[in-house]
Chain A
Amino acid sequence: MRPEHPPEFPLAIHDLTVAYHRKPVLWDIELNVPQGTLAGIVGPNGAGKSTLLKACLDLIPKTSGEVLIYGKPYEDQRDLIAYVPQRESVDWDFPVSALDVVVMGTYRKLGWFKRVGKAQRQRAREALEQVGIGHLADRQISQLSGGQQQRVFLARALVQDAEIYFMDEPFAAVDAATEQAIIELLQNFNAKGKTVLCVHHDLATVSRYFDHLVLLNMRIVASGPTSETFTRENLHKTYGGKLNLLDDVAEALKNVGR
């Protein structure tokens, strides 16, 4: 029986399998992400969290299955999507300024051959202002701290003005001020009814940041509202032996329902 994937879901994944060199990384993924949620994807290292995002965005080939964005394939819905890659995925020594990177978020609407103009730069400046680093707009990106670099990526996603935001570990190795800025941004998206899908690695903060949770370990272990999904049993199923420190679980569970 084919599970239901109604078009009102911003993201619906059906029977997705991804394999590298014939070794499966993701198995039979079935997932519906409801409108307006802040969804966290959580799982151990090598669980395929980033792969799941990349497969949704057609960055790596799917072995089988389909991904629907509001009921349509991704190619038809690119305007609705913004992607924040992992910070390490690019060379921060590249000779561009923070503003130049953020302006890249406007290229799609600008189209082929057209030059970046005042309007695009203005939008980019506003986005940098919004993530709290407006004063660093003209700085070369290698001279930014890790947290500031992450915020440059977030500003670029802001400029894209999307409905669904795919974020790959935005909280990884950032300072407290950046963490706060990201949380505010997420809540801002949430208030506007946008949907966020965010790969996350820190169990202790899951229940504070996300209202929807996807527990992943090559397959979907559980998914649903955080209050129902974030349980000791599910975490054990996801992490198995890797989470042998029961204290970690206890610590993480303490935050449930806060």
Chain B
Amino acid sequence: MSDVSVIASFDFELFWETLFLKTYNTRLVVVSVTLLGAAAGLIGSFLLLRKQSLLGDALSHATLPGIGIAFALMSALGMNAKSLPGLLAGATITGLLGILLVLAIKRTTRLKEDAAMGIVLSVFFGLGVAILRMVQKLPGQSSAGLESFIYGKPASMIASDRLFIIVVLAITTFACLLLLKEFTLLCFDANFASTEGWPTLTLDILLMALVTAVTVIGLQAVGLILIIAFLITPATAARFWTNNLRHMLWLAAIIGAVSGWLGASVSALLPKLPAGAIIVIAAAVIFLISMIFGLARGILPRLLRHLDLQRKVGRQHILRSTYEILENTQEAHPIQNLPIPMDLLRKHRYWSKGELAKVIRQARSEDHIERRPTGEICLSESGFGEASRITRNHRLWELYLIKHADIAPSHVDRDADMVEHLLGAEIVRQLEAELDLEKPIVESPHIINTELGLQSEPTT
């Protein structure tokens, strides 16, 4: 059957049944891969925050020789050579050996960790492939199916293994939740943790033990090449949505579970496609969506916030400039709202024609500026009020900076999007009190030269 016919044979009703666990046979497979995803998301979050993602990769690749050796040993001893606990025990041993080797190389040579990991990862994997080839030639039990550990095949799990898998996952999840506080401290500031008497080495070992458990348990479903993606992708996707660690852990677990569920369901239907790849692709799609739309750090929300800020700043500038021109061209007080020529406005702030047209368009859409048939522009009634408020706040702020420049006010936020809120009613009142001013509009502390547009800009 070619790939095309695999996809063509897609049966929607069957898909539905599988997705919602209607058939008993797939139910346990899908449930265990979903649980695996949740555990991987949770523990992967800490692996990511500890900045040890690559170590997880080295670990998973280093499990392969263990699987081959365990198979050969159990076969030689006349046991069931494909007993899952036995194979996974072998995987764990060589996996940990790989990590220890990375640490040893880092300690004894001056190689950096990434180089050490690269070496261990490839050597162990190569060794594993060679051993698998050799055990295939052994007489006795068939080694067919061992390669499912490389690419993953959830369907190859047999019923008795699933209970074992679920128990291990439950234990690791529980341990991770129990050590939430300790792991958080370790990941954020290990030195501080150490001065406080926390055994950071033990905590690191515990964390790696949990990662090892999830990796090894996940080998059969996802395969050792892709298991690292299952650990890391949900965590990185979750990070785009929140700045809160607890929320991130929950989200990562959910994203992991959903990818596992989708991946296992699809691969149950299309057994020719490698399950690990489908699971990882499902996770990657969620990652992509999160990267673009994630509320906390996604690309799109960031872009929108930036554009919004640009619009606000532009609006403030045009209103203030217009007001300043009105002030400079009139003798009388209070000043009157008269039309002014565009040229004057453009010179005032060195705006290019295009820039000016854009900010004016925005101000017009907010009903702050009207365009006269003569080509001049004029503030609307609400625009005039807004312009005098903005100008006044700007000058209060300038005066404050000039007077207290030696002590930066602690409530000044560097967040640029606060520019407008910065001078909210409360702060304006504080500024007035500070500066002992009650005048409706204060004079600018510096000279505004309308002709040349020379002007200092302390706030922007």
Q: Give chain A's interface residues, CB within 8 Å of chain B.
A: 21, 54, 57-59, 75, 78, 81, 83, 85, 89-91, 94-97, 100-101, 104, 107-108, 110, 112-116, 132-133, 135, 140, 142-143, 145, 156, 160, 175-178, 180-181
Contact = CB atoms under 8 A, between A and B. Distances in A.
B244 A104 contact: no
Contacts of A58: 194-195
A96 B188 contact: yes
30 contacts: A58-B195, A78-B196, A83-B191, A85-B192, A89-B191, A90-B188, A94-B49, A94-B187, A94-B188, A96-B184, A96-B188, A96-B245, A97-B243, A100-B184, A100-B245, A104-B185, A104-B189, A107-B182, A113-B179, A113-B181, A114-B181, A115-B181, A132-B410, A142-B243, A145-B414, A156-B192, A160-B196, A176-B407, A176-B408, A177-B409
A180 B245 contact: no
B195 A81 contact: yes
A95 B242 contact: yes
Interface in B224-253: 239, 242-245, 248
A177 B407 contact: yes
B424 to A, nearest CB: 14
B191 A113 contact: no
Given A78-B197, A94-B49, A89 B189 contact: yes
B243 A78 contact: no
B343 interface: no
Nearest to B249: A95
Nearest to B239: A95
Interface in B171-200: 178-179, 181-182, 184-185, 187-189, 191-192, 194-198
B415 interface: yes
Contacts of A177: 407-410
Contacts of B243: 95, 97, 140, 142
Contacts of A143: 415
Nearest to A96: B245
B406 interface: yes
B248 A59 contact: no
Contacts of A57: 194-195
A180 B195 CA distance: 27
B187, B191, B239, B242: residue with the most chain A Cβ atoms closer than 10 Å: B191
Contacts of A59: 191, 194-195
Contacts of B179: 113
A180 B407 CA distance: 9
B189 A112 contact: no
B421 to A, nearest CB: 13
Nearest to B182: A112
A107 B189 contact: no
Contacts of B413: 145
A95 B408 contact: no
Given A90-B188, A97-B244, A107-B181, A83 B407 contact: no
Closest 9 CB pairs of A and B: A140-B243, A177-B410, A83-B195, A108-B196, A95-B245, A78-B197, A57-B195, A145-B414, A175-B408
Contacts of A115: 181
A116 B195 contact: no
A104 B406 CA distance: 34
A116 B409 CA distance: 33
A23 to B, nearest CB: 13
A181 B198 CA distance: 30
B11 to A, nearest CB: 42
A204 B111 CA distance: 41
Contacts of A100: 184, 245
Contacts of A112: 182
Contacts of B187: 94
Nearest to A131: B410
A174 to B, nearest CB: 10
Nearest to B410: A177
A190 B197 CA distance: 26
A89 B197 CA distance: 18
A21 B406 CA distance: 46
A95 B239 CA distance: 8
A180 B49 CA distance: 33
A11 B245 CA distance: 37
Contacts of A116: 181
A142 to B, nearest CB: 8
A176 B415 CA distance: 18
A158 B51 CA distance: 29
Contacts of B185: 104, 107
Contacts of B242: 95
B195 A78 contact: yes
A128 to B, nearest CB: 12
A56 to B, nearest CB: 10
Contacts of B181: 107, 110, 113-116
A139 B456 CA distance: 32
Contacts of B194: 57-59
Interface in B73-118: 110
Contacts of B198: 107-108
Residue picked from B178, B181, B245, most chain A C-beta under 10 Å? B181
A108 B406 contact: no
Contact of B196 (A101, A107, A135, A176): A107
A116 B185 CA distance: 13
A133 B410 CA distance: 8
A142 B290 CA distance: 20
Contacts of A180: 407
Contacts of B410: 132-133, 177-178, 181
Contact of B244 (A54, A85, A95, A110): A95
Interface string B382-402: 000000000000000000000
A138 B321 CA distance: 37
A35 B384 CA distance: 65
A54 B110 CA distance: 22
Given A95-B245, A97-B244, A113-B179, A90 B189 contact: yes
Contact of A101 (B51, B188, B191): B188
Nearest to B407: A176
Given A85-B192, A94-B49, A177-B407, 10 more contacts: A78-B196, A83-B191, A91-B51, A95-B244, A95-B245, A104-B184, A107-B198, A114-B181, A140-B243, A160-B196
